[in-house]
Amino acid sequence: DAMVIQNPRYQVTQFGKPVTLSCSQTLNHNVMYWYQQKSSQAPKLLFHYYDKDFNNEADTPDNFQSRRPNTSFCFLDIRSPGLGDAAMYLCATSKVDRAPYEQYFGPGTRLTVT
């Protein structure tokens, strides 16, 4: 089945130690998103790629970076994680020219910062 895959599902990192979360998709969708979701809150959009074009939300901290080396893969890099960055990170995709704004989500990566 076509899907959005996130690895790892659980990630523990130390305060200040860089960490990378990965997302891959077999849907061939041109848009990929990264969301941060804290407990009992709605997902908060960090940034998205429209093909290779990177779009950063205005309030996304500089500590968060992203890479999209090809259509299928997208990475979230947290350069110096703080305790406040502990959250669920969700990757999503959409195909703008067919079902606009309908986003397909991966299972998420739960990040713990010690």
Partner 1 sequence: AQSVTQPDIHITVSEGASLELRCNYSYGATPYLFWYVQSPGQGLQLLLKYFSGDTLVQGIKGFEAEFKRSQSSFNLRKPSVHWSDAAEYFCAVGPNAGNMLTFGGGTRLMVKP
Q: Which of 69, 71, 63, 67 is nearest to 111 (CA)?
A: 63
Sheet holding 73-78, edge to edge: 4-7, 19-25, 73-78, 64-67
Please select the residue that binds partner 1; options are 19, 90, 111, 113, rule is CB under 8 A.
90
Q: Is 43 in the site for partner 1 (CB under 8 A)?
A: yes
- Binding segment (CB under 8 A) for partner 1, from list 14-22, 35-43, 59-67, 73-81: 35-43
Element (H, E) at 87: strand 87-94
Residue 39 CA to chain centroid, in angstroms? 16
Q: Is 40 in the site for partner 1 (CB under 8 A)?
A: yes
- Binding segment (CB under 8 A) for partner 1, from list 14-22, 59-67, 79-87, 106-114: 106-114
Three-state SS string over 48-76 comes to EEECCEEEECCCCCCCEEEECCCCCEEEE
Of residues 24 and 103, the one with the C-beta less far from partner 1: 103
Of residues 45 and 86, the one with the C-beta less far from partner 1: 45
Point out which residues bind partner 1 (CB under 8 A): 4, 6, 33, 40-43, 45, 48, 55, 57, 88, 90, 92, 100-108, 110
